[in-house]
Amino acid sequence: MQSGLRSKISRGVALLFVIALSLVIYSYRDKVQELAIFGYPGIFIISFLAYATVFLPAPGITFIFTMGAIFNPLTVTITAGTGAALGEISGYLAGFGGQAVIENVEVYNKLTSWMKRYGSITILILAAVPNPFFDIAGVAAGVLKMPFKQFIIFCWLGELIKMAFFAFAGAGILNKFFF
């Protein structure tokens, strides 16, 4: 019970940090726009790093939401989606190399079953919807030796869908309330 409470508190603190960071970034959006030459490579790198973490939450979506209001949301979508898809290779490689440790065996078994039946569609849907299970799906794809090209294409398409939602939502919501 103590460990569960500590975990919830840690997640809450992390969420508050991400929200505060997003507000700071948005508050200084004029300064960020002056540095636009670094903006898209920065978005790519942040997205890549956020999605390269296997089983560790990273604040990529909140960042994309904020950046969608500061920069062109379509370009943010493409840049962030590409960075995220490339970052997801870490889970695939962990499964492919057989080096991943899966804590939630029940979820892993369910995802493996879906991967065997629906393969690419499973990757597409799980990449397109924010959820904590995509890392496990990436590991399952690697373990099942899904062709890398197939994995990365459907992962990239799913990430583009997800990033478009957040970038355009950020552009619409933040610009509506702050302008």
The two tokens of residue 83 are: 């960075």
List pLDDT tens digits, range 120-156: 999 999 999 988 788 888 888 988 889 999 999 999 9
Please tell me the distance from the alpha carbon of residue 92 to that of residue 148, in angstroms, as a whole number: 8
The percent of the chain in helix, strand and coil, each rounded to the nearest 5, is 80, 0, 20
Averaged pLDDT, 1-29? 58
- What is the extent of the structural domain holding 80? 2-178
Distance CA 175, CA 156 (A): 27
Instruction: Report pLDDT digits (tens) over 52-65.
Output: 766 555 567 888 88
Q: How many domains, in total, are found in the chain?
A: 1
Kindly give, in sequence order, each residue whose CB lies less than 8 Å from that of residue 47, ignoring residues fewer than 6 positions away: 60, 63, 64, 79, 80, 81, 82, 83, 84, 87, 163
Question: Measured between alpha carbons, how far is 66 from 177 in angstroms, rounded to an integer?
Answer: 13
The whole-model pTM stands at 0.74
Residue 29 has pLDDT above 60, yes or no: no
**pLDDT grade, residue 79 (50/70/90)?**
very high
Instruction: Provide the H-helix boundaries in 35-147.
Output: 36-52, 60-70, 73-87, 89-96, 105-118, 120-128, 134-143
